Amino acid sequence: MSTKSKKDRILGVITLLLAAWITFLSFQLKATGYQGDPGPRMFPLIGAGVMALCGIVLLIAPGKKPGVFLTKAQWASAGKLFAVYILFALLLWLGGFLIAVPITLMIVTYMLSGLSAKHNSRKKRILIAVIFGIVGGALLYLAYVIGLKAPMPTGILLR
């Protein structure tokens, strides 16, 4: 057994144990009391199921030959996207849903347009990102706040 296969099998066991732990903790959450409502345990259970599936795959068919996981450019892109998520959390805390969502949509759209719309000029990509951010933010507001009447964060600046 190669070192890579051994590591994959160990990772598979750890992933299965983590999925079992998440499942156990999810069942500790209280149900909502509404008939047919899956309650707060639905998403953790889905995530645990996906993790368990990945762990099983690692146990049954360990990975291919070792290679480079991500190039330096891909690590840089992943870091930038992670920084945008941190910025999103900060904007939610400061300005709430109304400010954070459109700004984050604009930034992410512009970042990803560099990959999907390389042929467009920078001005056009910025314009598309601004339009998408505003329209997407408005649609999300209409769906969640107006349609579903879900309380969204208001932020400390808008209180």
Give the DSSP per-residue string, 90-124: HHHHHH-HHHHHHHHHHHHHHHHHHHH-TTS-HHH
Residue 39 and residue 89 share a domain: no
Cβ atoms of 9 and 62 closer than 8 Å: yes
- 128, two tokens: 């598309």
Domain membership flag for residue 158: no
What does pLDDT average to in each consecutive run of 10 residues of the chain (159 residues)?
Answer: 75 93 89 74 90 89 66 89 94 91 94 84 92 94 89 82
Residue 56 and residue 90 share a domain: no
What is the number of domains present in the chain? 2
Residue 142 and residue 80 share a domain: yes
DSSP 31: P
The C-alpha atoms of residue 134 and residue 84 are separated, in whole angstroms, by 17
Q: What is the CA radius of gyration of the chain?
A: 21
Residue 100 and residue 46 share a domain: no
Domain membership flag for residue 77: yes
The structure tokens 């954070």 sit at: 100
Domain membership flag for residue 153: no
Domain membership flag for residue 152: no
Cβ atoms of 100 and 92 closer than 8 Å: yes
Residue 134 and residue 110 share a domain: yes
Residue 41 and residue 10 share a domain: yes
Which of 60, 81, 98 is where one domain is finished?
60
At residue 144, the 3 state secondary structure works out as helix
Which among 75, 139, 130, 76 is positioned nearest to 104, based on CA atoms? 130
pLDDT at 153: 85
Range of the structural domain that residue 111 is part of: 72-147
Domain membership flag for residue 112: yes
Residue 98 and residue 51 share a domain: no
pLDDT at 154: 86
Angle between the 42-60 and 3-26 helix axes, to the nearest 10 degrees? Answer: 160
Domain membership flag for residue 98: yes
Which of 19, 34, 60 is where one domain is finished?
60
0.75 exceeded by the pTM? no
